[in-house]
Chains A and B, each alone.
Chain A
Amino acid sequence: MFKNLTIGQHYPVDSPIHNLDPRLKIIFTIIFIISLFLIESFIGFLIVIVFLTVVITISRVPVKFVIKGLRPILFIILVTFIINLLMTPGRVVLTLGFIKITEEGLRQAGFMAVRLILLIMGTSLLTLTTSPIILTDGIESLLKPFTKFGLPAHELAMMMTIALRFIPTLMEETEKIMKAQKSRGADFESGNIISRAKNLVPLLVPLFISAFRRADELAMAMEARCYRGGENRTRMRQMKISKGDYAAAFVFTVYFAAIIVFKIW
């Protein structure tokens, strides 16, 4: 049941992209998103596609894996496509009853779909090549300047780390309890919505109890090791900008410059 669920799906191989500094990767991803919204023509997307292909190849993540990440938002892409297709006024090319498809609509719909697909593929590359723990380290480091304005950067990052850390545990637990109840003849798959919701009680009650128990135990284990927030904490993994990071920053700057030049031109 949870085999297709891919939150923070990290693809663990060793590649130059995997080894980049997480802070850089986050900044690159944000700029990548901006670059997608600067583009106004299909030819502009060609630059993005070439760039993305190169990055995916270097990252050694199978293309199949990246494309699989599109599945959950396929529906959104489809809806966007249809709305754009039908709602854009312009020169009519096809009439089916009351449905009118315009040339502009076709172009706009295609354009939006490509943009969304590239957006998801590009951003999923961040989570595919960065383990969740390293990613939150990066986020914490990027948010650090804002602690001056009262933003609890360390606490936020710690919460995120813990949440991410427990997603697989909770899923495993869910599967285990589900199997145990199925062994007692429980049925989670058939029936109408109301009976299905009722059938979830034997799953949810134990799950909540164990989640609370885990939270308690974790809090105690952290306190036992003198955890008291971000003050003066050092870390095992120090983030340092390396030569590879400079090279990546250079390549990325070239990419972004190309997009801007293309837009002005």
Chain B
Amino acid sequence: MPIKAENIKYIYSEGTPFRTLALDNVNIKIDQGEFVGIIGHTGSGKSTLIQLFNGLESATEGRVEVDGILVGEDKKKLKLIRQTVGLVFQYPEYQLFEETVAKDVAFGPLNLDLSQEEIDVRVKEALELVGFNYNKIKDASPFELSGGQKRRVAIAGVLAMKPNYLILDEPTAGLDPAGRNEIFHQIKKLHERSNVTVILVSHSMEDIAKLVDRVIVLYKGKVHMQGTPKEIYSEADELERIGLGIPQIASIVRELRNRGFNIKQGILTIEEAKEEILKEVKRRNV
């Protein structure tokens, strides 16, 4: 079952001087099990879009469907939708509030009216999914942890609700490279191990290129491009025009190609690039 957004239009502050069209005729379908990246500039409408997916906002026009349920139609189903679509906001560590890590992660499942045993199991699972030793971390205060750890606790808080879709809004913003790699590594592992659909929202091409199967580029509230990372990055000029740019390695390869080096197109990782460049060097020496 997919998430479907059809002809979405979203207008902020209608009828005031601050009126802005945040989303304009957006059509998106995301299937179960996919790993999708949504890329766009600040103000391209990506944060608004993901809030439509779990019913925090409702579209001015158009319809959003999650696993066959029309979002916003029935208020009683909102809880179910929010459980199905787990949303991790930007800087999620600011939502932590409980005395212990375990209690904080249990907040979501508790709201789902599960049994205490079920909650305990889920808390343990979720904390281990994000790479914690449950027994070591469970009684710690969330406020004593490092930034990266706090963020992983917050992500565990959403995972504990067992969503079918996990949406992460800039999950690595403000983290150091080690923290960033850690988070991406966990997300990747999570997607491989379970059938959970992951939607990664970012303005950084670099991060998304290596991870996702499909990229959706939002520009000025519209779906500007859609496709596999390779397809998207082959349109480097267009991406640069809308101010997004391509991963550093892809732009190096592009520049080398422009100068007459015979390197294949669509390279996204440094490893691939290394191989190709070495091949070319060998060819030239011969």
- Name A176's contact: one of B54, B79, B89, B157 (CB within 8 Å): B89
List residues of chain A with CB within 8 A of the CB of B52: none
Cα distance A180–B54 in the bound complex, in angstroms? 11
B40 in the interface (beta carbon within 8 A) = no
Tell me if B82 and A183 are in contact (CB < 8 A): yes
Nearest chain A CB to B63 CB, angstrom units: 20
Tell me if B94 and A182 are in contact (CB < 8 A): no
Tell me if B17 and A181 are in contact (CB < 8 A): no
Tell me if A184 and B107 are in contact (CB < 8 A): yes
Q: Interface digits, A209-222 against B, CB 8 Å rule (1 contact, 0 not)? A: 11000000000000
Q: B95: nearest residue on chain A (CB-CB)? A: A180
Nearest chain B CB to A191 CB, angstrom units: 12
Cα distance A13–B94 in the bound complex, in angstroms? 36
Tell me if B108 and A185 are in contact (CB < 8 A): yes
A187 in the interface (beta carbon within 8 A) = yes
B97 in the interface (beta carbon within 8 A) = yes
Nearest chain B CB to A262 CB, angstrom units: 37
Tell me if A11 and B17 are in contact (CB < 8 A): yes
B111 in the interface (beta carbon within 8 A) = yes
B268 in the interface (beta carbon within 8 A) = no
List residues of chain B with CB within 8 A of the CB of A180: 87, 89, 92, 94-95
List residues of chain A with CB within 8 A of the CB of B94: 173, 176-177, 180, 206, 209-210
A49 in the interface (beta carbon within 8 A) = no
Cα distance A201–B110 in the bound complex, in angstroms? 15
A179-B79 CB under 8 A given contacts A184-B107, A185-B111, A206-B95:
no
B251 in the interface (beta carbon within 8 A) = no
B72 in the interface (beta carbon within 8 A) = no
Cα distance A129–B96 in the bound complex, in angstroms? 40
Cα distance A186–B95 in the bound complex, in angstroms? 12
Cα distance A205–B98 in the bound complex, in angstroms? 8
**How many positions in chain B have a CB within 8 Å of any CB in the partner chain?**
23
A185-B83 CB under 8 A given contacts A180-B89, A206-B95, A210-B94:
yes
Nearest chain A CB to B50 CB, angstrom units: 10
- Name A183's contact: one of B17, B87, B112 (CB within 8 Å): B87
Nearest chain B CB to A12 CB, angstrom units: 7
A187-B111 CB under 8 A given contacts A176-B89, A180-B92:
yes
Nearest chain B CB to A201 CB, angstrom units: 7
Q: Interface digits, A149-186 against B, CB 8 Å rule (1 contact, 0 not)? A: 00000000000000000000000010011011111111
B242 in the interface (beta carbon within 8 A) = no
Tell me if B89 and A183 are in contact (CB < 8 A): yes
List residues of chain A with CB within 8 A of the CB of B92: 180
Tell me if B17 and A12 are in contact (CB < 8 A): yes
Cα distance A183–B97 in the bound complex, in angstroms? 15
Q: B160: nearest residue on chain A (CB-CB)? A: A184
Tell me if B56 and A202 are in contact (CB < 8 A): no
List residues of chain A with CB within 8 A of the CB of B87: 180, 183
Nearest chain A CB to B113 CB, angstrom units: 9
A182-B17 CB under 8 A given contacts A177-B94, A206-B96:
no
- Residue of A182, A184, A209 with most chain B CB atoms under a 10 A cut-off: A184
Residues 93-136 of B contacting A (Cβ, < 8 Å): 94-97, 107-108, 111-112
Tell me if B161 and A185 are in contact (CB < 8 A): yes
Residues 234-261 of A contacting B (Cβ, < 8 Å): none
- Residue of A12, A177, A185, A205 with most chain B CB atoms under a 10 A cut-off: A185
Tell me if A209 and B89 are in contact (CB < 8 A): no
Nearest chain A CB to B84 CB, angstrom units: 11
Tell me if B79 and A185 are in contact (CB < 8 A): yes
B143 in the interface (beta carbon within 8 A) = yes
B221 in the interface (beta carbon within 8 A) = no
- Residue of A180, A201, A202 with most chain B CB atoms under a 10 A cut-off: A180
Nearest chain A CB to B273 CB, angstrom units: 39
List residues of chain A with CB within 8 A of the CB of B107: 181, 184-186, 202
Tell me if B97 and A185 are in contact (CB < 8 A): no
Tell me if A179 and B56 are in contact (CB < 8 A): yes
Q: A183: nearest residue on chain B (CB-CB)? A: B87
Cα distance A156–B167 in the bound complex, in angstroms? 45
B171 in the interface (beta carbon within 8 A) = no
Cα distance A100–B167 in the bound complex, in angstroms? 64
Q: Interface digits, B151-178 against A, CB 8 Å rule (1 contact, 0 not)? A: 0000001100100000000000000000
With A177-B94, A177-B95, A206-B94 given, name 8 new contacts (CB 8 A). A11-B17, A173-B94, A182-B82, A184-B95, A185-B83, A185-B108, A209-B143, A210-B94
Selected A-B contacts with CB under 8 Å, 15 pairs? A176-B94, A180-B89, A181-B95, A183-B54, A183-B82, A183-B86, A183-B89, A184-B82, A184-B111, A185-B112, A185-B161, A201-B97, A202-B107, A205-B97, A209-B143
Residues of B within 8 A of A (CB): 17, 51, 54, 56, 79, 82-83, 86-87, 89, 92, 94-97, 107-108, 111-112, 143, 157-158, 161
Q: Which 8 A-B pairs have the closest CB atoms?
A: A185-B111, A205-B97, A184-B108, A180-B95, A183-B87, A180-B89, A202-B97, A179-B56
